Amino acid sequence: LYLAVVHAVNYFKPKVFLIENVPGMATLYKGKVKEQIINTFEDMGYNVSVTDKPLLAADYGVPQFRKRMFFVGFRKDLN
């Protein structure tokens, strides 16, 4: 789904986007996958922040016990 999100963000150019994934993705191929995702969106004109530790959905009222990491992108042309 990563490429679908890239295409959607590139097409719609939202002010902000939020994507989530499993925490293991951060260390996949020694962190290169995470780095590629960040670089792709930064090349498209976004500043990207990533949670430094996984967040547990149950801590936020979601009835699931699953950990997730989040990528948040803000368009660079915004103040």
Domain ranges (residues) in the chain: 2-75
Candidate CATH numbers 3.30.230.10, 3.80.10.10, 3.40.980.10, 3.40.50.150; the one for domain 2-75? 3.40.50.150
Give the model's pLDDT for residue 59.
94
Q: With cut-offs at 50, 70 and 90, classify the pLDDT of residue 2.
A: confident
Give the model's pLDDT for residue 79.
76
Q: With cut-offs at 50, 70 and 90, classify the pLDDT of residue 67.
A: very high
Nearest to 50 by CA among 68, 64, 66: 68
Average pLDDT value for residue range 53-60: 92
Half-sphere exposure of 2 (CA within 13 A, CB side): 12
Average pLDDT value for residue range 35-40: 96
pTM: 0.88
